[in-house]
């Protein structure tokens, strides 16, 4: 996985609007990936998240379940709480959440409750994903909020980080 700053250089701001959005999403996802790497260095499941509003990062966090001994300490949850504190409001309007792994039911629920209008994720999670895999919680018209969703942004990089982490854990377990 390559997440060096140098990679940001290949963003082409002369491209069309859709291409620019794609490239901006990749740009921010790289920053979320840096958080995932930080989690890995603490022996936490490597998932990172950032929240961007009006072109500015207002929250960034990584999974901290083991360090904090808190089952609710997923990257998205910490970032949402941070963003609400930053804005002084629980409504995270005009925000985009970038997260390296498809949100679980808890995090998808928190996204709905915080009214985040747009979510971009990296790898999908066939075992617990609640956005496109097991459930589509962010697109349920019965609930009082929906969010636009883009998946698979730098999905291979985000997924490989997780795959390697769990492979290393299993290898340790077999020793």
Residues 130-169 touching a second copy, rule: CB under 8 A, are 130, 134-135, 137, 140, 142-144
Candidate residues 85, 160, 164, 168; the one interacting with a second copy per rule CB under 8 A: 85
Task: Using the minimum distance from each CB to a second copy, give the nearer residue, 137 or 153.
Answer: 137
Spatial distance between the Cα atoms of 62 and 42, rounded to a whole number of angstroms: 10
43 binds a second copy (CB under 8 A): no
Shortest Å, Cβ 108 to a second copy:
6
Distances in whole angstroms, Cα of residue 67 to Cα of each of 38, 45, 90, 140, 146: 12, 11, 26, 34, 32
Shortest Å, Cβ 142 to a second copy:
6
- Contact call for residues 1 and 157 (beta carbons, < 8 A): yes
Shortest Å, Cβ 87 to a second copy:
8
Active site residues: 76
Task: Using the minimum distance from each CB to a second copy, give the nearer residue, 2 or 142.
Answer: 142
The pairing of beta strand 95-101 with beta strand 48-53:
antiparallel
For tokens 């997924």, name the residue: 159
């Amino acid at each position: 996985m390559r997440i060096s700053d140098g990679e940001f250089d290949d963003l082409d701001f002369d491209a069309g609007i859709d291409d620019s959005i794609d490239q901006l999403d990749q740009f921010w996802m790289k920053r979320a990936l840096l958080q995932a790497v930080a989690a890995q260095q603490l022996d936490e499941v490597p998932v990172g998240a950032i929240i961007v509003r009006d072109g500015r990062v207002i929250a960034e966090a990584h999974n901290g379940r083991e360090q904090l001994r808190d089952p609710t300490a997923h990257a998205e949850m910490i970032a949402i709480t941070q963003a609400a504190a930053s804005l002084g409001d629980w409504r995270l309007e005009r925000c985009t959440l970038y997260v390296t792994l498809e949100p679980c039911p808890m995090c998808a629920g928190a996204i709905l409750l915080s009214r985040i209008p747009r979510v971009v994720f990296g790898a999908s999670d066939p075992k617990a994903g609640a956005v496109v895999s097991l459930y589509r919680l962010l697109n349920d018209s019965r609930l009082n909020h929906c969010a636009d969703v883009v998946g698979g942004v730098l999905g291979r990089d985000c997924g490989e980080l997780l795959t390697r982490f769990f492979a290393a854990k299993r290898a340790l377990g077999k020793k």
